[in-house]
Structure formats: structure tokens, C-alpha cells
């Protein structure tokens, strides 16, 4: 599955002389889409704030998502001119893939989610105007002269520009793409007495499991990050976040569909020979077999199993039908053919797969993609080896019995 990029702003509120750890919930949902059955992906459902709230069209066009929680990262000392990376405006973020486990809260099934930070941005606020710090009167030129490599619309490699850059006399908003965990550093050309990042924006890429292999329900898991010098999010030794801990709580919800539609009257199955009963009635030729194919339509987005319940059962057969007058019974075999996209657990198509009675003998099937009202067939048959016993010249009989075919999503 292709990773998707979401813009995520993370905000910690500084209160008094302490701050609690930042916890952000990220929710994603899978529900099958009959209009686009080949799209088997989770959709991020966390409400947009921050970047995508202000630029919704940009986010729609790039399939991105954002949150902003107004945190601060503040300089603990003046930033000197031409300092080393740790003494400058440095950004090192977890740009490589990290794995976490999400667990179904009911079944305890575990799946793996992968996350990487794919972008970073903020709005720096200087303690004085860029013009006063550099001696350059034009504000835009002053911001460009303040830093090596021009303004912050042009990041230091390996970060990549998004083309975003908005400035005021003492502020500059920016956003950079991140390709890995290498450090991106802007070195000041002039001393800066104090500076603050008014918030932190993050983009992240998310690799989610294949929802078609997951049970319905909620899957939860967390990923913890450390902010500050030497942490997962490292801003150097000058710029210090006011909260060192960040937890992303993931909630993946899976809503599966399993629906079977049988045409009106399909619950009553009459078994007949090929070509009808005329050859038997007029010429005494016994039919080779009795059968009936009953069509149905199935919509399925998850694993399911099929099994039988028999009104009349008897070893070694699963289901029997009975002539109540003679008390004779014969075997009834039931098999199923499923539409394209619904396979067995080995990935093989399902054609005339024999169904058995009882949960222990259930057949399991799995979609390769969401199947919406795909045509299937139930095959009912009295096998040839039972026909000699069942049909005798001059003896009329009627065999009846109830067989329940079960489609069960609880696998």
C-alpha cells in the first residue's frame, strides 16, 4: 500500500513553570466503498486544524492532513553568528520509518503500523526586527541576509523547500520537506539575542496494514518521542522545547461489510435431473443425479467462513433429506462457487468448494479486494451413488429436509 502524507502540527501549552507531556490522537477509518471497490485503504479522520485549515485546497490537491497545537520552542541563550550546527537553528527529526503495534481492543489481534516524519515547519519570532539585526532596511532582504543560504523558504540540505514562506518585520513562517533523519541547519550571519518558534508543524507518512486481512473493530497503539537536545526531535542546544515528551496515540477503526442477498423464493430448493423428469416418467431411465444451482449476491470486505447446519444428519454424511413415509434418507451435498475477488486462504479461486456441517469444518475465504454484490452460486446435489437407492420403479416418494447455509464474519 502506498504511504500517504498528512500535515501534522503538534502543540504543547506552556503553563507556569511546568508542562505536561503532549498526547495527540490520530484516527483512521476503513469502510468499504462500493463506488471504488479497489481502494482498500484507511482514511485519516482526525479533524483538520492549522496548516490545512488555512490552506484547504493545497491539502486536498496533495492528499495531506494537518493539526496544530500551539507549542513553543524558545532559545535558552543568544544564537551567535557563524556558530556550529548545534549552536544554530538546527532541525533533526525522525524521518526514517518507525514501527508500532496496534492491537484490536476486543480480539487482541495485532497489526503493524509504520510512521515517519516527512516535513517540519513553524514561524520563527525574533527578539528584534530582522532589519535592526542586519542593518538592511527592506524586511524581506533583511531576513535573507540574516541567514546563510538566503531566507527560510530555502532550507539547508537535505531538507527540501515546499515554496512556503511568509514574513513580517520580525517573523518568518516556513515549511520544509524531510527526506530522512539527517540534520538540516540554518546558520545565522548575525547574532540573535533571542528567538522563538511559535508552534511546530509536522508532516508524517503513515503505512497502514491491509484492512481486508483485519477483523472489524478498533485497533490502538502508541508511539513515544523525545523532544530536545539528543532526542527524536532535536533542535540543537540553543532552541529548547518547553515540553520534552510527545506521544502519538493511534486509533484505527475497521468497519467491514458482509452481506448476502438471495433472490425471492431462493430459500426453497427443488432438486431435479438434467432435462427434467420426463425421461424417468415416460421411459424409465433413471437420472444420473439430482441437483439445483441457486444464485446469490455477496458483498464482502473481510475474511469470512461458510458452514452448514443440518436438520437431519447422519454418519458418514453431513446432511440428509428424508422420505417421511418410507423413512429412507439420502445424502445431500452442498458446495459453493464465489465471485472473482473472493478466494480461499491460499489465494485460489473458489469453484464448487464443498461445504461441511459444524464450526470445526468451516471453510474460510478472504477477499483480494472489496467485492460489492458479486454473483455466487450454491450447488445442491444428490450424488450419483445415492440415486439407485433413492429411485425405485413404481414407488413414489418425496424427500425433504432443511439445510442452513451460514456465512459468518466471526473468523
pLDDT of 80: 98
pLDDT of 289: 83
Claim to verify: residue 123 and residue 197 sit in the same structural domain? yes
For residue 187, what are the CA distances in angstroms to 87, 90, 192?
8, 8, 11
Pick the last residue of a domain from 254, 281, 299: 254
Claim to verify: residue 231 and residue 270 sit in the same structural domain? no
The total number of structural domains that make up the chain: 2
pLDDT of 282: 53
Claim to verify: residue 30 and residue 117 sit in the same structural domain? yes
Are residues 273 and 382 in contact, defined by beta-carbon separation less than 8 angstroms? no
Nearest by Cα to 310 from 211, 401, 196, 178:
401
Domain of residue 309, CATH code: 2.60.40
Claim to verify: residue 141 and residue 89 sit in the same structural domain? yes
Task: Kindly report whether the global pTM for this prediction surpasses the value 0.75.
Answer: yes
pLDDT of 13: 30
pLDDT of 292: 93
At residue 212, what are phi and psi to the nearest 5 degrees? Answer: -70, -20
Q: In a 3-state reduction of DSSP, which class is residue 405?
A: strand
Claim to verify: residue 171 and residue 132 sit in the same structural domain? yes
Claim to verify: residue 307 and residue 333 sit in the same structural domain? yes
Claim to verify: residue 287 and residue 250 sit in the same structural domain? no
Digit-coded pLDDT (tens) for 22-45: 888 999 999 998 888 888 889 888
pLDDT of 47: 77
Containing domain of residue 343, as a range? 258-408
Claim to verify: residue 292 and residue 277 sit in the same structural domain? yes
Claim to verify: residue 185 and residue 319 sit in the same structural domain? no
Claim to verify: residue 199 and residue 77 sit in the same structural domain? yes
Q: Which residues in the chain come in under a pLDDT of 70?
A: 1-20, 50, 58-59, 61-64, 69, 275-276, 278-285, 393-395
pLDDT of 393: 64
pLDDT of 19: 47
Are residues 315 and 306 in contact, defined by beta-carbon separation less than 8 angstroms? no
pLDDT of 53: 76
Claim to verify: residue 219 and residue 278 sit in the same structural domain? no
Whole-angstrom Cα distance, residue 29 to residue 65? Answer: 14
Pick the last residue of a domain from 193, 228, 254: 254
Digit-coded pLDDT (tens) for 133-164: 999 999 999 999 999 998 999 898 999 888 88
Pick the last residue of a domain from 233, 254, 275: 254
Claim to verify: residue 224 and residue 300 sit in the same structural domain? no
Amino acid at each position: 500500500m502506498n504511504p500517504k502524507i498528512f500535515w501534522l502540527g503538534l502543540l504543547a501549552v506552556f503553563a507556569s513553570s511546568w508542562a505536561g507531556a503532549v498526547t495527540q490522537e490520530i484516527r483512521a477509518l476503513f469502510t468499504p466503498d462500493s463506488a471504488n471497490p479497489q481502494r482498500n485503504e484507511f482514511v485519516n479522520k482526525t479533524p483538520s486544524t492549522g496548516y490545512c485549515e488555512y490552506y484547504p485546497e493545497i491539502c486536498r490537491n496533495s492528499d495531506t492532513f494537518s493539526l496544530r497545537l500551539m507549542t513553543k520552542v524558545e532559545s535558552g541563550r543568544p544564537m551567535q553568528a557563524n556558530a556550529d550546527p548545534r549552536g544554530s537553528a538546527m532541525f533533526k527529526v525522525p524521518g526514517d520509518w518507525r514501527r508500532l503495534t496496534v492491537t484490536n481492543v476486543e480480539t487482541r489481534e495485532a497489526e503493524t503500523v509504520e510512521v515517519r516524519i516527512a516535513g517540519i515547519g513553524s514561524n520563527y519570532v525574533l527578539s528584534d526586527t530582522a532589519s535592526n539585526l542586519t542593518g538592511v532596511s527592506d524586511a524581506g532582504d533583511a531576513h535573507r541576509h540574516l541567514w546563510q543560504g538566503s531566507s527560510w523558504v530555502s532550507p539547508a540540505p537535505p531538507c527540501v523547500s515546499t515554496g512556503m514562506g511568509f514574513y513580517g518585520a520580525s517573523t518568518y513562517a516556513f515549511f520544509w520537506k524531510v527526506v530522512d533523519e539527517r540534520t538540516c541547519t540554518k546558520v545565522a550571519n548575525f547574532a540573535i539575542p533571542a528567538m522563538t518558534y511559535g508552534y511546530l508543524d509536522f508532516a508524517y507518512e503513515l503505512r497502514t496494514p491491509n484492512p481486508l486481512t483485519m477483523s472489524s473493530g478498533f485497533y490502538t497503539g502508541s508511539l513515544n518521542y523525545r523532544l530536545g537536545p539528543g532526542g527524536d526531535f532535536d533542535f540543537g542546544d540553543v532552541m529548547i522545547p518547553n515540553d520534552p515528551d510527545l506521544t502519538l496515540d493511534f486509533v484505527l477503526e475497521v468497519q467491514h461489510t458482509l452481506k448476502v442477498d438471495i433472490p425471492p423464493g431462493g430459500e426453497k430448493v427443488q432438486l431435479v435431473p438434467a432435462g427434467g423428469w420426463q425421461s424417468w416418467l415416460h421411459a424409465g431411465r433413471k437420472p444420473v443425479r439430482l441437483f439445483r444451482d441457486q444464485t446469490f449476491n455477496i458483498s464482502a470486505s473481510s475474511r469470512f467462513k461458510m458452514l452448514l447446519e443440518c436438520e437431519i444428519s447422519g454418519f458418514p454424511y453431513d446432511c440428509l433429506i428424508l422420505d417421511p413415509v418410507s423413512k429412507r434418507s439420502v445424502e445431500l451435498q452442498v458446495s459453493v462457487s464465489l465471485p472473482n475477488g473472493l478466494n480461499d486462504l491460499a489465494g485460489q479461486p473458489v469453484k464448487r468448494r464443498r461445504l461441511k456441517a459444524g464450526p470445526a469444518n468451516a471453510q474460510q475465504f478472504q477477499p483480494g479486494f472489496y467485492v460489492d454484490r458479486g454473483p455466487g452460486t450454491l450447488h445442491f446435489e444428490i450424488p450419483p451413488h445415492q440415486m439407485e437407492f433413492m429411485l425405485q420403479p413404481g414407488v413414489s416418494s418425496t424427500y425433504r429436509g432443511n439445510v442452513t447455509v451460514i456465512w459468518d464474519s466471526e473468523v
